[in-house]
A and B are shown apart, each in its own frame.
Chain A
Amino acid sequence: MNHSPILPILVPFIASIVLLVMSACKLSWQRSVGALAAMLLLAVSVNLLLLADQPAPLVYALGDWPAPFGIVLVADRLAALAVTTTAVLSAAALLYASAGFDGKGRHFHAVFQLQLVGINGAFLTGDVFNLFVFFEVMLLASYILLAHGSGLNKSRAGFAYVTLNLAGSAVFLVALGLIYGTLGTLNLADIAMQLKTVPATEASLVRLAGALLMTVFLLKAAVLPLSFWLPHAYSAAGAPVAALFAMMTKVGVVAILHVQMIAFNAAPVMHGLLDGWLIVAALATIAFATLGVLSAKSLQSLVAWLILGSAGLLLIAPSLNDEVVTAAGLYYLVQSAVVGAAFFMMAGLISNARGRVGDTFVATGWVSDNKLKLGYFILAATVAGLPPFSGFIGKLMVLFAVKEGSMMPAIWAVVLVASLITTVALAKAGSRLFWEMPNDMALTPQVVSPQNSMCQYAATFGLIAVSLLLVIFARPLSDFTQRAAEQLHMPEHYIKAVIPHHADIQRGARP
């Protein structure tokens, strides 16, 4: 059996344990282990990406117990793409954090690796209970990372974030209990098969379970009525942590895509579960996030609102349930994660460079660092969706993909107006951060700020370079996302790879 699907989980997991043992060692040693793990993760993720680029997904049965009785990991194209994106982001975030942020609290490196275990596991798992377990691993690590460093706003944002996610976990477990109680399985491929033969008496229970499951994923993806937590949590986190969090909303979207496309689409009981209302919620999220962008008082909170807006745009893919839209959405997923993470790091750099006022929109006078201005310009143009950057290509692909549908006027109007407002807000924010002179010169802070280190510049501009590569290699990537969307919309391959002989499985009568 090919062991590559489990490596993106094992590498950070072993690194995390080693780092926990090393917690008494010097920070430089921990940094080296973390860097080594990040490099290894990058290598195994790219390897997985190359291997998974085939019609049938790679299936890894843990302990060689066959599905649906054992636990399986399934690396389809979507999972491999998401894991690779996470690996790139995490390498950059780790490099950024190694400039000194990691020393602001204990166990940063161990918890960081644990967070990667959770994220990668959530992408790769083939059954919904392990999805829950990996979500919890991811969340517990994110709680600790969010509170890393000190400050009352971190405790406050952390408490609300933890409470909300614990409530979400409770709903998740209720959904899992309903699914197991009605279908007798938790394996995604098996759920897809069992859903076809649900007795009419249990149809409404199954549908309720599906709706609860989607609610939890939408909470993680931060769609409108469940999105108020995101700006607070993401703007309170430290810059490298927030950069990694940029991938966390994507975990919810990927989970929705997996469950919906593979298990729910073909089942008559789940017919139209997300139709009609999710697109409205997604567009409302974009509108809400745009208002947030206008109202933000600091750069980091502005970026948090931008992340929320990109989550709304991503949710167009599952709500329209169309192959072309999914393909476009996946390209947008990759680019928005990279750009969002880079923007959080840029906010950290700018905050350091401006000294006492940080990244709040208070005029302090001229910022002399031209690298920051250039980076901010590229990132702002990308996020706003101006050509020739990757945000433009991503938004264009989504807009063209929805061209045929009945929702086209609404989607085009919301996305384009939101882009325009975002452009204006980012232009205003940039001129205030870099150029505007304070009215009262006495307010100008003369505090010598800590200089940004080369690590931080390298991490941020490395990610910006990746976002430019996404422009240059837009064609191969969009071809890949096209193939990934095809695979998602043809769940037969997935189901056959996980459970080759479904009819032969002996099932005992349920008591």
Chain B
Amino acid sequence: MEAILASAIGLLFGCGVYLMLRARTFPVILGLTLISYAVNLFLFASGRLVMNAPPIIRADITRYTDPIPQALVLTAIVIGFGMTAYIVTLALRGLSESGDDHIDMIEKTVDSSPSHIQKHQP
């Protein structure tokens, strides 16, 4: 169990970092998402891995799983979701403003764009 979780976290982190280093906005956003998944799994594991145990303390139960990391993960997921939504809109705005999804967002030279030439045809 620990080995599976640890390798999953490592794999997600590795892929996330690789994608984040790409030069287009979409892979960067995907990379950030993968990293946030990896982090959520990591946070979840910080309460130790316990199988088939309730996350709540009751009189008749001696074996339970730590509920705090679950609450933390929930918070982290919500925040991560909001951030991803925002960065997607920001990337789209950059795309519409520069006509390119390169992260440098350099404005494309208008002359080379075929759609632009067509627009000005009589």
A positions within 8 Å CB-CB of B: 129, 133, 136, 140, 143-144, 147, 150, 152, 155-156, 158-160, 162-163, 166-167, 169-170, 173-174, 176-178, 180-181, 508, 510-511
Contacts and interface: CB of A to CB of B under 8 A. Distances in A.
Which of B25, B40, B66 counts the most A-chain CB atoms under 10 A from its CB?
A: B66
A177 B46 contact: yes
Interface string B16-47: 00001000010010001001101110110111
17 contacts: A133-B75, A140-B82, A140-B86, A144-B86, A155-B97, A159-B91, A159-B103, A159-B105, A162-B83, A166-B36, A166-B83, A167-B35, A174-B39, A176-B46, A177-B72, A181-B46, A511-B64
B6 to A, nearest CB: 13
B68 A180 contact: yes
On chain B, which size bracket covers the interface?
35 or more
Nearest to B48: A511
B90 A178 contact: no
Given A136-B83, A167-B32, A177-B69, 8 more contacts: A152-B105, A152-B107, A162-B90, A163-B32, A163-B87, A169-B79, A181-B45, A508-B57
Closest 10 CB pairs of A and B: A181-B46, A177-B46, A155-B94, A156-B105, A177-B43, A173-B39, A180-B46, A170-B39, A136-B79, A170-B35
B93 A155 contact: yes
Contacts of B42: 173-174, 177
Interface in B67-99: 68-69, 72, 75-76, 79-80, 82-83, 86-87, 90-91, 93-94, 97-98
Contacts of B72: 129, 176-177, 180
A174 B37 CA distance: 12
A152 B76 contact: no
A140 B53 CA distance: 36
B50 to A, nearest CB: 5
B87 A156 contact: no
Nearest to B75: A133
Contacts of A166: 32, 35-36, 83, 87
A129 B43 CA distance: 12
Contacts of B98: 152, 155
A129 B46 CA distance: 14
B101 to A, nearest CB: 10
B12 to A, nearest CB: 11
Contacts of A170: 35-36, 38-39
Interface of B: 20, 25, 28, 32, 35-36, 38-40, 42-43, 45-48, 50, 53, 57, 63-66, 68-69, 72, 75-76, 79-80, 82-83, 86-87, 90-91, 93-94, 97-98, 103-105, 107
Contacts of B20: 163, 167
Contacts of A136: 79, 83
Nearest to A136: B79
Given A177-B42, A511-B65, A143 B48 contact: no
A508 B83 CA distance: 36
Nearest to B87: A162
Given A166-B32, A511-B63, A177 B45 contact: yes
B76 to A, nearest CB: 6
Nearest to A162: B87
Nearest to B83: A166
Contacts of B104: 156
Contact of A178 (B46, B94, B107): B46
B103 A160 contact: yes
A152 B97 CA distance: 6
Contact of B83 (A140, A147, A159, A174): A140
B94 A152 contact: yes
A155 B91 CA distance: 8
Nearest to B40: A173
A166 B39 CA distance: 11
B17 to A, nearest CB: 9
A508 B56 CA distance: 13
B39 A143 contact: no
Which of A140, A156, A167, A170 counts the most B-chain CB atoms under 10 A from its CB?
A: A170
A162 B94 CA distance: 13
A511 B43 contact: no
Contact of A162 (B45, B66, B75, B86): B86
Contacts of A174: 39, 42
A155 B104 CA distance: 10
Contacts of B64: 511
A144 B39 CA distance: 24
Contacts of A510: 48, 66
A5 to B, nearest CB: 22
A144 B85 CA distance: 12
Which of A150, A163, A177 counts the most B-chain CB atoms under 10 A from its CB?
A: A177
B32 A158 contact: no
B35 to A, nearest CB: 5
